[in-house]
Amino acid sequence: MKRNGERITMLTAYDWTMARLLDQAGIDVLLVGDSLGMVIQGHSTTIPVTVGDMIYHGRMVVRGSQRAMVVVDLPFPHGQLGPRRTVAVAARIMKQTGCQAIKLEGGARQAETIAALVDAGIPVIAHVGLRPQSVHALGGYRVQRDRAKLQSDAQAAQQAGAFCVLMECVPANLAAEITRSLQVPTIGIGAGAGCDGQVLVTHDMLGLTVDRTPRFARRFAHLGNAVQQAASAYIAAVRDGSFPAEDESFE
């Protein structure tokens, strides 16, 4: 797709219903992101998410996807445990979910681990820029502006064999420059329009996370309001006796 100048579309999915809907809509890649810790489990960071959580959600998404590639995140700290232990966890996730690729956070410092994963036959996406699992080390959810570090992370990831580089919260001109310098595709989130593709957290994009939607996440729908309106209508109909009607009941 990069070679043909076609933009790649990626969205997160955490369950069968959503995976099926997004797959049928024509999405290219479904990401079982550890963002599930925030949007599904209600934590304030992705740090509490376990390998068991990723396998549980990954299996549902794989079951719901007919054509989209399914990528599963390595949760904290399993991408940072050195090549041998990371390969073991990634292999377990692939075996038990049936996903096609793994995403891990990091670039240059992860080069050896990325190479070991690729050697083991595990396709890898490297996540650089803002790495949410390192939110405390980075001092918060901030735009990452260190040009030299971003360039070397992206280059090192490609060199180590990653088939894609995901860039989060990177200035648009820098992300575009890195995209041009790489042979593998880039996927951006808060990284401007110059990347080869885009990803969003589906709950943000659908307007389900109204209280904490990041600036870069456009709301393509307002389902949070729609859910509350439907729930209010249901509550009123039950209370006033208009639900269930005769044709919603059995004789």
Closer residue to ligand KIV (CB): 73 or 236: 73
Among the listed residues 54, 165, 201, 205, the single contact to ligand KIV using CB under 6 A: 201
Q: Both ends of the chain: CA-CA distance in Å?
A: 57
CA atoms of 12 and 64, how far apart (whole Å): 13
Cα dihedral across residues 180, 119, 107, 74: positive or negative: positive
The closest of 213, 222, 208 to 40, measured between CA atoms, is 208
33 binds ligand KIV (CB under 6 A): yes
Closer residue to ligand KIV (CB): 16 or 216: 216
144 binds ligand KIV (CB under 6 A): no
Closer residue to ligand KIV (CB): 10 or 116: 10
Q: Indicate which residue of 6, 105, 112, 168 is catalytic.
A: 168
Please say whether the beta carbons of 8 and 28 come within 8 A.
Answer: yes
186 binds ligand KIV (CB under 6 A): no
* Cβ density class 206-243: b for 16+ within 10 Å, e for less: bbbbeeebeebbebeeebbeeeeeeeeeeeeeeeeeee
- Report the site for ligand KIV in 42-81 (rule: CB under 6 A): 73
Which of the stretches 16-24, 27-35, 87-95, 237-245 binds ligand KIV when contact is defined by CB under 6 A?
27-35
What is the nearest approach in angstroms of ligand KIV to the Cβ of residue 249? 43
30 binds ligand KIV (CB under 6 A): no
What is the nearest approach in angstroms of ligand KIV to the Cβ of residue 219? 16
Please say whether the beta carbons of 58 and 93 come within 8 A.
Answer: yes
Count Cβ atoms within 10 A of the Cβ of residue 5 and give its class: 0-12 exposed, 13-18 middle, 19 or more buried: exposed
Closer residue to ligand KIV (CB): 59 or 131: 131
Q: What is the DSSP string of 144-191?
A: ---HHHHHHHHHHHHHHT-SEEEEES--HHHHHHHHHH-SS-EEEESS
Beta bridge partners of residue 168, listed in sequence order: 129, 189
Among the listed residues 125, 189, 191, 208, the single contact to ligand KIV using CB under 6 A: 189
34 binds ligand KIV (CB under 6 A): yes
Which of the stretches 33-41, 85-93, 143-151, 213-221 binds ligand KIV when contact is defined by CB under 6 A?
33-41
Q: Is 251 a catalytic residue?
A: no
Q: Which residues bind ligand KIV (CB under 6 A)?
A: 12, 31, 33-35, 73, 127, 166, 168, 189, 199, 201
- Supply the residues annotated as catalytic: 168
